[in-house]
Amino acid sequence: MKDRFDFEVVDLDDADSALVIIDQTKLPNVTEFLHLHSQTEIWDAIYRLQVRGAPAIGVAAAFGIYLAAKEIISELKKASDGKNFEFIEFSDRFKKASDYLNSSRPTAVNLSWALKRMGTVVSTCKGDSPDEVISKLKAEAYAIKQLDEDTNLAIGENALSLLSPCMGLLTHCNAGFLATTRYGTATAAMYLGQERGYGFHVYCDETRPLLQGARLTAWELSRSGIQTTLLCDNMAPSLMREGKIDAVFVGCDRVAANGDTANKIGTSYVALAAARFGIPFYVCAPSSTIDGSIPNGEAIPIEQRDGSEVTESWYERRMAPEGIDVYNPAFDVTPASDITAIITEKGIFRGPYDFTQMN
């Protein structure tokens, strides 16, 4: 697949000891890249959705904890006059830094998955020199990034096998290029189809309250030449009734063992409408998003966010009464019964789901 973009969503500037991201809160009007050096800056960027999307968060966390390890080792070497550092102290401080980053977004399992992979590397480094530890962590962070790119491309090929030319597709939130390292999950088949002449017409829910569909998905798809139409979230059933939607593709932040999925708030509403009109509803999820420790959707932790996102964000002035209570969950759960199939890089899975058979 040819690159559709001339920048990296998440990258490492090792010489500057910085995590480099595009600030997604400024899109589509301003393209600004941030160089984040401290763990506090990286935590804030994840929490404030300057970098967002489960796969992109995982890669950002991998680079972020690598930078934390560099800083910890530098401090320990200074304290020992340049001699080999104390591994146990390094390991303890590394874990604290990892736990801190992991607290930024509790629902997206890729965050904890990537940090766990980096922690596993540390557990094998006892007896290594400081430079060897840093080298191994850097290699693992880049491996996580490459895996995401390869995974998304495989998801796209699997999803495209379910589609025909000239279909109308609906997507919610942003599970595209900007939510990953390249291609996206829910959008990967759309980009492949664009290259191969499928002529898809993609409809994007605006996705309140943070407008990821309007600001991000509509921006990236339209600039790639895909026929794109934006709609308010509550307009999807009307489109379905008119017969303009042939399939729905969404991403997700966590898949429970039974196939329930957590994705951006409003996804379950789209799934209900698709079921009512007999439209296939597909969830595109890297296998790293499947959390076998969570039995069902009821056990998935749902992040509650500040009410100002509903009452003030994206408005020139406040658009709700002062003091009003606000319900603002970042995600909702779509039950497995409303999902036609879960598309991973390892294949297409249909209910009843048994991910233990995944190779």
Strand order in the sheet with 331-334: 290-291, 254-256, 261-264, 331-334
Which residues are within 8 A (CB) of 294 and not within 5 positions of it... i.e. 6 or more apart? Answer: 254, 256, 257, 300
Alpha-carbon distance of 13 to 261, in angstroms, equals 34
Alpha-carbon distance of 13 to 225, in angstroms, equals 31
Helix H or strand E segment including 96: helix 87-102
Helix H or strand E segment including 35: strand 33-36
- SS3 at position 277: coil
| Phi–psi pair at 358, nearest 5 degrees | -70, 130
pLDDT at 2 over 60: no
Farthest-apart Cα atoms in the chain, separation: 73
pLDDT at 3 over 70: no
253 is an active site residue: yes
Alpha-carbon distance of 64 to 251, in angstroms, equals 24
Q: Name the one residue in this structure whose structure tokens are 């036609």.
A: 340
Q: Give the pLDDT score at 165.
A: 98
Q: What is the mean pLDDT of residues 305-327?
A: 94
Q: What is the mean pLDDT of the chain?
A: 94
Q: Give the pLDDT score at 164.
A: 98
pLDDT at 153 over 60: yes
Q: Give the pLDDT score at 1.
A: 41
Angle at CA 60, nearest 5°, toward 209 and 142?
A: 145
Going from the N-terminus, what domains does the chain have, and what CATH number goes with each? Answer: 10-151 (1.20.120.420), 161-357 (3.40.50.10470)
Q: What is the mean pLDDT of residues 237-242?
A: 98
Give one word for 301, left, alpha or beta, with left for phi > 0 and alpha for psi -120 to 50: beta
Q: Give the pLDDT score at 127.
A: 86
Residue 249 · residue 189 · CB < 8 Å: yes
**Catalytic one among 205, 253, 260, 332?**
253
Residue 263: which of 241, 282, 235, 246 has the closest Cα? 282
Q: Is the peptide bond before 106 cis (omega within 30 degrees of 0)?
A: no
Residue 141's pLDDT band (cuts 50, 70, 90): very high
Q: Give the pLDDT score at 104.
A: 94
Q: Give the pLDDT score at 80.
A: 74
Residue 317's pLDDT band (cuts 50, 70, 90): very high
| Of the listed ranges 17-21, 182-186, 198-202, 241-245, the one predicted with least confidence | 182-186
Residue 167 DSSP label: -
- The percentage of residues in the chain with a pLDDT greater than 90, rounded to a whole number, is 85
For residue range 37-96, what is the model confidence (pLDDT) as tens digits? 999 999 999 999 999 988 899 999 999 999 999 999 999 888 776 566 788 999 999 999
Q: Give the pLDDT score at 96.
A: 97
Residue 299 DSSP label: G
For residue range 18-32, what is the model confidence (pLDDT) as tens digits? 999 999 999 999 999
Q: Give the pLDDT score at 79.
A: 79
- SS3 at position 261: strand
pLDDT at 126 over 60: yes
Alpha-carbon distance of 49 to 102, in angstroms, equals 14
